[in-house]
């Protein structure tokens, strides 16, 4: 495990963008696993500026996102598809047909979970997976539980997640109560994992995840077993 401590959020964003840029440069047709949340926004801004400077090219890149809220259509401004379009995809030359976010509105959610895992497998897995971390240790929407769930699955969101995400909605009641998330297997099978964590409030869960016992009660703790984990953090 490599931990890169940075002075501030701007530096964290540049470091994370360096690592993602290196991946794209060394393998132009790579599969990037992408994340939503407030932490990666600065990283995406950096990637956009590198694209504008012609330092990186997304034309052959495929993306797979971690998760999506159940019940939100792609054009809902709180959906993760909308987030990815507005924070990254619309500003770079990625082929939209090669961008993948699980659907939160599939008629058959279980079939959608299976489709998503098959898709990741058919792509040959993920080259670099970007992750944020929740205050409860979730990665994607893999919430604390008494077991790790390997496959893409539908998850009931924990109260602390709903509370944390309510800042983006008009009220707590408006936050979807379930989501579809990539499971632990696709994340752990990614060739490289890049975890970003910003703020004093993330330090405790980060310490617990990286140095505490490996337990599904702290989903990110499984990353201790990943052979190529880089953590970029700032307080
Ligand atoms: P945040 O979310 O980047 O908005 O803190 C991280 C997460 O919940 O995965």
Q: What is the pLDDT of residues 17-70, one digit of tens each?
A: 999 999 999 999 999 999 999 999 999 999 999 999 999 999 999 999 999 999
Ranges of the chain whose pLDDT falls below 50? none
Q: Quote the tokens at residue 195.
A: 């975890």
Q: Which residues are catalytic?
A: 67, 136, 138, 143
Does residue 133's CB lie within 6 angstroms of at least one atom of ligand 1? yes
| Atom in ligand 1 nearest the alpha carbon of residue 138 | 9
Is 226 in contact with 160 (CB distance < 8 Å)?
A: no
DSSP, residue by residue, 117-133: HHHHHHTTS-SEEEE--
Q: Are strands 99-100 and 153-156 parallel, antiparallel or unpaired?
A: unpaired
Rg (CA), the chain: 16
Those residues whose C-beta lies under 8 Å from the C-beta of residue 84, and which sit 6 or more positions away, are 34, 36, 63, 65, 99, 101
pLDDT for position 197: 98
pLDDT of residue 91: 98
Model's pTM, two decimal places?
Answer: 0.97
CA distance 22 to 12: 15
Shortest-distance atom of ligand 1 to CA 140: 9
Cα-to-centroid distance, 143 and ligand 1 (Å): 12
Rounded to the nearest whole angstrom, what is the distance from the C-alpha of residue 197 to the centroid of ligand 1?
8
**Residue ID of nearest Cα to ligand 1 atom 2:** 37
Distance of alpha carbon 92 from alpha carbon 48, whole angstroms: 6
For position 68, what pLDDT does the model report?
98
The Å distance, Cα 28 to ligand 1 centre, comes to 27
The closest of 37, 44, 46 to 14, measured between CA atoms, is: 46
Q: Does the C-beta of 39 come closer than 6 Å to ligand 1?
A: yes
> What is the pLDDT at residue 158?
86
Instruction: Report the separation in Å between the CA atom of 115 and the middle of ligand 1, taken as the mean of its atom positions.
Output: 25
Return the ligand 1 atom nearest residue 35 CA: 9
**pLDDT of amino acid 79:** 97
Determine the 3-state secondary structure of 207 from DSSP: helix
* pLDDT given at position 160: 87
């Amino acid at each position: 495990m490599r931990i890169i401590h940075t002075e501030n959020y701007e530096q964290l964003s540049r470091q994370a963008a360096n690592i993602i840029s290196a991946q794209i440069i060394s393998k132009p047709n790579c599969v990037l696993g992408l994340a939503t949340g407030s932490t990666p926004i600065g990283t995406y801004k950096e990637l956009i500026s590198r694209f504008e400077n012609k330092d990186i090219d997304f034309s052959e890149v495929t993306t797979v996102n971690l998760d999506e809220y159940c019940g939100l259509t792609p054009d809902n401004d709180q959906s993760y598809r909308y987030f990815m379009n507005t924070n990254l995809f619309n500003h770079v030359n990625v082929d939209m047909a090669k961008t993948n976010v699980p659907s939160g509105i599939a008629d058959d959610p279980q079939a959608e979970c299976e489709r998503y895992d098959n898709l990741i497998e058919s792509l040959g897995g993920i080259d670099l997976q970007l992750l944020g971390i929740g205050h409860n240790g979730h990665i994607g929407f893999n919430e604390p539980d008494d077991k790790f769930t390997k496959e893409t699955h539908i998850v009931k969101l924990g109260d602390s997640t709903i509370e944390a995400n309510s800042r983006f909605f008009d009220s707590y009641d408006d936050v979807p109560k379930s989501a579809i998330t990539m499971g632990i297997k696709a994340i752990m099978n990614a060739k490289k994992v890049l975890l970003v964590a910003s703020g004093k409030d993330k330090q405790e869960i980060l310490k617990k995840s990286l140095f505490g016992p490996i337990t599904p009660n702290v989903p990110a703790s499984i990353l201790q077993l990943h052979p190529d984990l880089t953590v970029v953090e700032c307080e």
